[in-house]
Structure 1
């Protein structure tokens, strides 16, 4: 089924993105708010999966979405900064893709209001995949296998960039993590987490004040904060033309966070221990640092316990790479 851009625009406008104060919990796939009012078909998801892994979506056929969002590396890439198809280094660390089905605003700076927009951005970005949206439909249309699949899924003789990103977003909404030791623990299995992780959970909610930003079922308030990382990246300020948000970036979800080092928007923290040490000292004093960032006075043991808890959010999503047309 072909869904209209108008539907996506309405969905983006009515969907609030600040969700601070939500209790920790387990996301339920039965309660995904699909922008089109119904879940995608299995055929649409499979088409999106093929497109996600296909390097022919980049200008020189060298990179796919999965090049940077590698399922073997926690749907990130394991490096501080990736390189675009043109060989130039990107300016921000690649975020993971877990549980985007419940996300309500996308990218480090929140420039995308829908998952479809987020899927399209890297494809046409000259810094990333660099693909012309005029050439993309022509290239895919010249591949008999894709022509057949788009006809079967969308009943359309024409392949468009909009349909490409609709299919990719359909696949990305199936990348769901909700059966970690933490989920089993809160469901009643008190042996699912280690004693250190249990202590870490209490610190996470209490002394360490993590839930001021990392709350809800996916451990994010979907909002933007300057954490005190020094640098000249304007972040959210550039998107909404508000200098008070200079250096503010979206709170990342923490599902499977142990699988996707390094951390922060600039990849400046190699390990979760380094992340916690950064927060423990109250950031690094950058201008406009959020007032939620304050020294925590955590002991070494408490830092280890917090890291143990974040490890208990691990529920790897196994994705088999598809055969391509």
Structure 2
């Protein structure tokens, strides 16, 4: 398919071209039907990923791939564009910042209007493998998950009507959507969800030092890190029974009894209705990939460091929320880990860091709006890409 070149007319300037990429991101192969299929060394293994504690050479769950290169690249623009928020000041990437493991570094995320939420922003690395999304596992697909924050009053505070109007009247986006969805008669909300899901599915992190060790290069980890891995997988600590390699989550929902920050009411989690009483205080077991980049930890950012999070588990079953009378997961007990073992676990978790497939930040956005302030410091280190400089309109929110 020939790239579709889109003319961007800026008053007083020469016409410049924008085009969506027609090649897949790294680690994906382009198929004959113009879809990107994920390829990794874990494809070589046929052991079950959903049984036992997970060996070092265990297969991954099925990835949610099969998007076109154009859909992925359109999703990248949308993900970083504040045009998607109600006041055109906040982007998806405001709460999922690339340099913070696709989180925001806050205990509780902040919405478009300054509203403080009741949960932290989860990382988006490797979400292509996840069966449930959000801390309370209420979304079954990336497409469903992508739209919920856009229209939540305490998050991006937009409406479907305004979002579609902003995109449809923009001088650039309609043609980009036509390139990504050539069979569609008009721009629709489902296409926004698909494009955002496509971009998120491309956020792959599978080449950490741990992965190199798992694939046979044992020199990738030092002595303390290997000891940490052994403690992590031991029947004493039992970390790997929920944070199962190689994804480092078993994708289940668990009640572990994490305390809320001081002054914050108890969060019911997945047990927020009368027919889910057994899940009261339950949250999705998160992947630990790039965990060293995503502090603070737990659903409400209760713990500042990995050591604090590990120490929470060793202090004993239900010690922090006894007054709530929760049905704690049976894996939560009293491992009585030593300070040295906790330190070794922390050192091992640092080996799960891999940002080698970090996506490029757009140097300019089709909307003509600037990147949100919290992202602009990234542009000095982001790899340069062949997109034009777009002059922001004189009034924020209007189209170029």
TM-score where L is the length of structure 2: 0.73
8 Å Cα contact 1:110-1:239 kept in structure 2: no
CA distance in 2, matches of 1:240, 1:312: 41
Question: Does 1:210 pair with 2:227?
Answer: no
| Structure 2 counterpart of 1:312 | 351
Post-superposition shift, 1:42? 1.1
CA distance in 2, matches of 1:24, 1:105: 23
RMSD between aligned residues = 2.0
| Structure 1 counterpart of 2:398 | none
Greater per-residue helix proportion: 1
Structure 1: stretches of 5+ with no match in the other structure: 2-17
Q: Which is higher, the Rg of structure 1 or of structure 2?
A: 2
Q: Measured at CA, do residues 239 and 147 of structure 1 come closer, stay the same or move farther in structure 2, by a change above 3 Å? A: farther
CA distance in 2, matches of 1:59, 1:94: 19
Q: Which has the higher contact order (CA 8 A, sep 6+)?
A: 1
| Structure 2 counterpart of 1:21 | 52
Q: Measured at CA, do residues 22 and 276 of structure 1 come closer, stay the same or move farther in structure 2, by a change above 3 Å? A: closer
Q: Measured at CA, do residues 82 and 90 of structure 1 come closer, stay the same or move farther in structure 2, by a change above 3 Å? A: same
8 Å Cα contact 2:71-2:195 kept in structure 1: yes
Structure 2: stretches of 5+ with no match in the other structure: 1-32, 34-48, 261-265, 367-400
8 Å Cα contact 1:109-1:239 kept in structure 2: no
Q: Measured at CA, do residues 111 and 104 of structure 1 come closer, stay the same or move farther in structure 2, by a change above 3 Å? A: same
CA distance in 1, matches of 2:259, 2:62: 37
8 Å Cα contact 1:20-1:212 kept in structure 2: no
CA distance in 1, matches of 2:274, 2:193: 25
Question: Does 1:197 pair with 2:236?
Answer: no
| Structure 2 counterpart of 1:5 | none
Post-superposition shift, 1:240? 7.7
Q: Measured at CA, do residues 33 and 258 of structure 1 come closer, stay the same or move farther in structure 2, by a change above 3 Å? A: closer
| Structure 2 counterpart of 1:76 | 103
CA distance in 1, matches of 2:309, 2:254: 15
Post-superposition shift, 1:160? 1.4
**1:105-155: per-residue Cα shift (whole Å, max 9, x none)?**
110001100011111110111110011012211110111211111111112
TM-score where L is the length of structure 1: 0.89
CA distance in 2, matches of 1:249, 1:20: 21
Post-superposition shift, 1:100? 0.7
Secondary structure, counterpart of 1:134 in structure 2: helix
8 Å Cα contact 1:20-1:221 kept in structure 2: no
| Structure 1 counterpart of 2:212 | 184
| Structure 2 counterpart of 1:15 | none
| Structure 1 counterpart of 2:388 | none
